[in-house]
């Protein structure tokens, strides 16, 4: 993710458990009072056929929600950049 003020790449720690190996980083607007988090957040998510598993990076809160609810929410995938994409001068 690119920092808003610095323009430099910042890292968002991924959970270390093996079940999160396929997780992707998303920016999600959580505005449902039933969920344990609210507001716009960066989260790691594993999107399955029926369920979406979610982990917040800093607080390490893990929960799941139905795929239908996830699809109705405002989500944006954050592409991870590798060092190969940067120009070396």
13-35 burial, b if ≥16 CB within 10 A, otherwise e? Answer: eebeeeeeeebebbebebeeeee
- At 27 the pLDDT is 96
* Residue 79, pLDDT score: 82
Alpha-carbon separation of residue 18 from 56, 60, 68 (angstroms)? 16, 15, 25
Question: For position 37, what pLDDT does the model report?
Answer: 94
pTM of the model: 0.78
pLDDT at residue 7, rounded to an integer:
47
Those residues of the chain that have pLDDT short of 50 are 1, 4-8, 88
């Amino acid at each position: 993710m690119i920092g808003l003020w610095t323009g430099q790449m910042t890292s968002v720690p991924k959970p270390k458990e093996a079940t999160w190996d396929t997780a992707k980083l998303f920016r999600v607007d959580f505005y449902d009072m039933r969920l344990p988090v609210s507001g716009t957040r960066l989260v790691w998510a594993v999107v399955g056929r029926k369920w979406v598993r979610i982990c917040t990076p800093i607080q390490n809160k893990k929960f799941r929600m139905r795929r239908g609810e996830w699809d109705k929410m405002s989500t944006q995938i954050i592409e991870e950049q590798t060092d190969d994409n940067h120009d070396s001068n």
